[in-house]
Structure 1
């Protein structure tokens, strides 16, 4: 069974086509990078998968569950990491993780919370500090730990490396690779062409809501990915 399947999905906002007949399949453990300029339809695609918006045509399945027929059941099979992670500023990382996990129906012990935060790349001394002074990279790591705590089969990320320094981006890459090795499929909407080669198994390029290119990254270098991307946007 696929972790994610989109079949002919379209979405309009007024007279503008945001997503146009998009078909996409992710296998368990696969990392897929969805590329495209601002307005190409990346965030709309993520919102459709989450059930935050309803498709005008086509179907979306998460782990075999139709989003339109059972939105809550479909959402329970995925985890979402937004570009900006909002945390309770008065709580430390462990408390935030345990709190958000409880909201999702899971009761985490302190040891398990520490393990998840460490796997996400957050240093142990930072785990017991209030998050009000956290950098964006530190917030991303807590957000990733929160997502992984759901034990979902699909992880959605919207511009996950935006604003991160090289060290934080490397930590994120390592954690996502570990998640994929455990069978979690990852779909990330991104502009970061360098990380695409380093992280993704496949890439797709959206232009005006249409998937104009889909290709394995195994034989491509960063310069080739950039050339392909720019060529498709200029076509």
Structure 2
């Protein structure tokens, strides 16, 4: 099976600094791959290379088996991207924000479809017609997650997706991600949350200083051991 996402010896140098150094991994259809690391590890940079916003200094990234640099727009058409701080318009309500950004993406959806996505992320009905400027960070994040779902792409890129969510909402989000993977989507999630990565991912890659320094995989029917990953994460961060 051709991986949906693949980094092959990916390296990136910016302003003389090595941001990514020979990073290699794959993520297949139906799989959740978590890239775990602290601040400055290169996690978000990796996502931006898959979107074609940053060009590798060495190696390559592929989407659907095709190098991103060969056709950036074709790669982006397969991906829904959820940034850590989604840019939503404060003077618009949830319906208006979603309709606007979906129109920009060339995707027409009904209000019923929007409601179904907002139900999926558990945004209260009473909040959906309020202006976004009155939303908490968690409510804005739920709206942004709904937008990513409504793009209905085979690949999801998630940058610190549970930022601002309360513990119950985080558990609900992880369940949703696992359901999306079970339906065949590919999910690449970058995070500094060891517990969250181990709870939701099939495989975890530990990134530090731009290098992939560890890899962890769940045994069949089980989760990745949190204590093992946490020990490796703490050791690498202290190094």
TM (norm. structure 1) is 0.94
Residues 57-136 of structure 1 mapped to structure 2, 5 A cutoff: 57-136=58-137
Kept in 2, the 8 Å contact 1:155–1:184? The answer is yes
Three-state SS of the structure 2 residue aligned to 1:141 is: helix
How far the C-alpha of 1:156 sits from its partner, in A, is: 0.8
Kept in 2, the 8 Å contact 1:20–1:210? The answer is yes
How far the C-alpha of 1:10 sits from its partner, in A, is: 0.6
How far the C-alpha of 1:70 sits from its partner, in A, is: 0.3
TM (norm. structure 2) is 0.93
Kept in 2, the 8 Å contact 1:50–1:75? The answer is yes
Q: Deviations over 1:53-80 (max 9, x none)?
A: 1001111111223211100110111011
- Counterpart position of 1:188: 189
Distance 1:178 1:98 in 2: 24
> Is 2:174 the counterpart of 1:173?
yes
Number of corresponding residues: 235
Provide structure 2 residue ranges, at least 5 long, that are not aligned to the other structure: none
Provide structure 1 residue ranges, at least 5 long, that are not aligned to the other structure: none
> Is 2:239 the counterpart of 1:231?
no
Three-state SS of the structure 2 residue aligned to 1:68 is: helix
Kept in 2, the 8 Å contact 1:63–1:153? The answer is no
Across the aligned residues of Structure 1 and Structure 2, the Cα RMSD in angstroms comes to: 1.5
Distance 2:224 2:198 in 1: 7
Distance 1:100 1:208 in 2: 34
Kept in 2, the 8 Å contact 1:121–1:175? The answer is no
- Counterpart position of 1:198: 199
Kept in 1, the 8 Å contact 2:36–2:197? The answer is no
